[in-house]
Amino acid sequence: MTILLPMLLAYLLGSIPSALWVGKLFYKTDIRTQGSGNLGATNTFRTLGKKAGIAVTLLDILKGTAATLIPLYIATDIHPLVFGVLAVIGHIYPVFAKFKGGKAVATSGGILLGYQWPLFIMAVAVLLIALKITKMVSLSSIILAVVFIVYITIYAIFTADYLFMAVIYILALFIIFRHRANISRIREGTEPKISWM
């Protein structure tokens, strides 16, 4: 039971539907009925504006970070990355929002921030560069996932940190899988582009 409680806490942290709660509390809007209907930062930016989008992005990042740091506050032998992955699962399938959540890009970034913050800085840089070039959040997220798959494979060869490699693979595949509808729209040339960059 003592093992399950911190794991449940990590999942519940990830399940906090930041976009839904910010929309309802401050904008009297259920974001699930707006735009793509997705409970993520991108849909928040598009439908509620920059302030809401930034707030949701930060909250989603902090969910992953807080979950990854659970072993600092609760005695457990479970690896911090396991808690981070549970938070991502919570974000994608949130118990507080009928198990329909976001695409986990920001929450995955939060794991990096909690586990190896320089990689978080690298992820932000890659995402911003990809956004500048493509003007598409979805494609930039997919590019980020692929870049990290390549990077972590090389990283693991030199560090033997195969658990970290496995977690990055899982997160990257989650991100790509959750963007499968976007991939279809990218191919058709109908994927929305940002105008603020």
Report pLDDT for 1: 52
Concatenated DSSP letters for 86-109?
HHHHHHHS-GGGTT-----HHHHH
Structure token digits, residue 137: 């959040």
Report pLDDT for 197: 72
Report pLDDT for 37: 87
The structural domains of the chain, with segments of one domain joined by +, span: 4-188
Element counts in the chain: helices (H) and strands (E): 11, 0
Spatial neighbors of 149 by CB under 8 A, at least 6 apart, are 168, 169, 172
Residues of the chain with pLDDT under 50: none
